[in-house]
Amino acid sequence: MKANEMFNRAQENSIGNYRKVKKNIRKKRFANIPIALITGAVIAISITGCGLEKSVSADDKVYEQYMNITDEYGVTTIEVNTYQIQRLHKLLDQYNIDKYEQHGSKRVYYATADDYVTISELDDSYLCAMYFSSSKDSASEMAKALGYESLDDYLIKNAFTDKNGNPNYRLWSASNSILMAQEMTSNNKINNLGGGVK
């Protein structure tokens, strides 16, 4: 099935007067489900709405979840941060992106968007590590490779904004850390992406 067909199908299955279902959430253990499908698909983040009124408490809720990350996922914030930086460096090393200056364990990249567009696995989730481990300029170059005008443009377009519509780095960081924690605890989801579901 082609990707646009899947998207259209999702739209078709989401809109309309379906029979109402009582919210009856269960917990179930899935042994062989590729977690990739879940974490690799999309992670919705409770943030402000574009074109809708803004949810005032959404920012705090995400941040609160981040602060409880140890309890929820069994990993510490330090582990999460280390993981996502190593994940970033590993990806860039794979593509021989060696335009960086080493400062202790820290790398400050000076590669440009033209360098990053060569990375087929690159996605938005690497931006945060680049921002915190390298610089805002580095992250902006990477954001350009992903089709955004800048890092701020990425934040705004993805609704990581405060109530005034300005980029909200704290919200973004918290959301991304949750994502990384999910990835860390999801049985090598990257390697499983694209796998079938049986």
Partner 1 sequence: MEYDTIVLENNIEYIIASTVRINETKYYLLINPLDKYEYLIRKEVDDELVGLDDKNEFEIVVSKLYIVNAKNPYLEAFIEERKRINSSQKNN
> Binders of partner 1 among 13-72, rule CB under 8 A?
13-30, 33-55, 58, 61
Q: Among residue numbers 126 through 145, which ones bind partner 1 (CB under 8 A)?
A: none
Answer for which of 6, 101, 106, 110 binds partner 1 (CB under 8 A) is 6
Give the C-alpha distances (Å, rounded to integers) separating 51 from 48, 149, 165, 172: 9, 21, 12, 20
Residue with Cβ nearer partner 1 (46 or 112): 46
Residue 177: which of 35, 66, 59 has the closest Cα? 66
Residue with Cβ nearer partner 1 (109 or 148): 148
Give the C-alpha distances (Å, rounded to integers) separating 52 from 45, 46, 127, 154: 15, 13, 26, 19
Q: Among residue numbers 75 through 114, which ones bind partner 1 (CB under 8 A)?
A: none
Answer for which of 125, 136, 137, 162 binds partner 1 (CB under 8 A) is 125
Residue with Cβ nearer partner 1 (36 or 75): 36
Q: Which two tokens stand for residue 112?
A: 């440009």
Q: What separation, in Å, do the N-terminal and C-terminal C-alpha atoms of the chain show? A: 17
The nearest distance, CB 87 to partner 1, in angstroms, is: 11
Cβ atoms of 65 and 77 within 8 Å: the answer is no
The nearest distance, CB 175 to partner 1, in angstroms, is: 7
